[in-house]
Structure 1
Amino acid sequence: MDSDLAPYSVHEAIISGDIDDVKDSLLDGLNLETRSEMGQTLLMTAANEGQLEIVRLLLDGGADVDLGSQNGSTSLICAAVNGYHDIVELLLERGADVEKVDEDGNSALICASQMGHSDVAQILLENGAVVDQEIKLVSEKIVTVAP
């Protein structure tokens, strides 16, 4: 991949699972904090698309496991909402903060639960996700949207 290509091209390579192009970009000095037009980091894009080996490559290259988008979403939240338990496990092994929330107060546990990914929710609980906090946040949302 030509290192002069726009950052979104790297995101496209991640989405298509082209690990060789991603490796080449990293070797060419790609900034690991490069964001997509939607504000996602490279790691978030890989986690969102279920690209386990690219997630591993980016983490090995020094990607910040907790760096989020403008709305506070993180790679862990992206993986949890999509039910990618293997990526959730890897991110947690690499130090992802299980309690980070987005601007709406959604944590990875809330997202996994809302999407019916009980296996991912169990992994998050086993890694320190706090249920009491989740219930409090959900209750606050219900009160906020109630007439």
Structure 2
Amino acid sequence: MEPSKPSQQMGTTFCQWFGMNALLLSAWFGHLRVLQILVNAGAKISCVNKNGRNLLHCAAQRGHIKVMEFIMEDLEDVHVDKTDKMDKTAFHLAAEHGRLEVVEFLIGSGCSHSVKDKEKNTALHLAAKNGHPTVLQKIVEIGLGLEEKNMEGLTALHLAVEGGHYDCVKLLLEAGCDVNAQTQKAMTCLHYAALHGYEDMARILVDAGIYIDAVNHQHASAMHIAVLQNFPAIVKLLIDAECNLDIPDERQQTPLHIAAEHGRQDIAEMILIAGVNLKLIDKQGKTSLDVAARGNHINLADMIIKADRFYKWEKGAAVVD
């Protein structure tokens, strides 16, 4: 017996892993004629794979519109909103994988637009999360709620920012998304931009009027996060936008405390030039100078001492004037 070829082994493994029979495979790969032959031969059209996905799910995910037309028009008892084990419909899968033609077909077929999957994501969430602006635009046009939140309280805008999908963010902002929406952990879109260092994303959010001093469940602002993650460009952008540099987080640390703790000298310099209260103490009773000294960040400590002297001189000069 000849050993099986790698492609044959791969195909066998694929079928075993996902429970794909011949009928589902024909839909998955877009083999319309094979599908028709199997159906005419009496194949069970209600079959599903291990994920609970049926013929329509498979064709929708892969973007095979001709197969979908056959399924919807020629097969009986096909429900357009049938869900898989994750409560995803064909509409969810088409949006998630950027299949614009399929999305349009399903909308024309009367699918439910607002149905949510097991994680409470709508099709809008999935298109935004995976960076499909053309699909996102189509879903926005049909009037799907822009402020819908998933299980973690994220809107489509949050997911677009977190994924770094600038075109999707721009589209959603222009459509009127609430730029200040917060998740269950009180994260704004600006928090996510700061977390990942997306300068262009942060800029468009600031330009859209986002509240730059919003704090999350740890009482951290976007500035705290940008300093911790070491993104000087985000720090500069937020300083230029006149953020509050003296906000304490849950440890009562200001952004300067964090910069001092981690030896972020370039960031500390920007903060000091902008002007901060150097007397503020954290939960351990430490000023930012104490924190810098504790970490043996000599140059940074020297910067804070010089800034303190300058602040005092500046205050004295103002009194004289």
Same fold (TM over 0.5): yes
The alignment status of 1:143 with 2:267, answered yes or no, reads no
**Counterparts of 2:122 and 2:142, CA distance in 1:** 16
**Counterparts of 1:91 and 1:143, CA distance in 2:** 32
* Matched residue, 2:220: 106
* Matched residue, 1:49: 163
**Counterparts of 2:115 and 2:167, CA distance in 1:** 22
**Counterparts of 2:124 and 2:176, CA distance in 1:** 16
Instruction: Spell out the pairing of 1:1-147 with structure 2 (5 A cutoff).
Output: 1=103, 2=107, 3-6=113-116, 7-133=121-247, 136-137=248-249, 139-140=251-252, 143=283
- Cα offsets for 1:75-94 (capped at 9, x unmatched): 11111111000010000001
Secondary structure in structure 2 of the residue aligned to 1:89? helix
Q: CA deviation at 1:57?
A: 0.5
Secondary structure in structure 2 of the residue aligned to 1:137? coil
Distance 1:17 1:73, change over 3 A: same
Unaligned runs of 5+ in 1: none
Q: Is the 8 A contact 2:124 2:144 kept in 1?
A: no
TM-score in terms of structure 1 length:
0.88
Distance 1:5 1:18, change over 3 A: farther
Unaligned runs of 5+ in 2: 1-102, 108-112, 254-281, 285-321
**Percentage identity across paired residues of the two chains:** 25
The amino acid that maps onto 1:137 is D
Q: CA deviation at 1:15?
A: 2.1
Q: CA deviation at 1:10?
A: 2.5
Q: CA deviation at 1:24?
A: 1.1
Q: CA deviation at 1:20?
A: 1.4
Secondary structure in structure 1 of the residue aligned to 2:283? helix
Asked which structure has the greater RCO (Cα within 8 Å, sep 6+), the reply is 1
The amino acid that maps onto 1:67 is A
TM-score in terms of structure 2 length:
0.42
Distance 1:138 1:118, change over 3 A: farther
- Cα offsets for 1:36-69 (capped at 9, x unmatched): 2322111111111111111111110000110111
Number of matched pairs? 142
Secondary structure in structure 1 of the residue aligned to 2:164? coil
Structure number with larger C-alpha Rg: 2
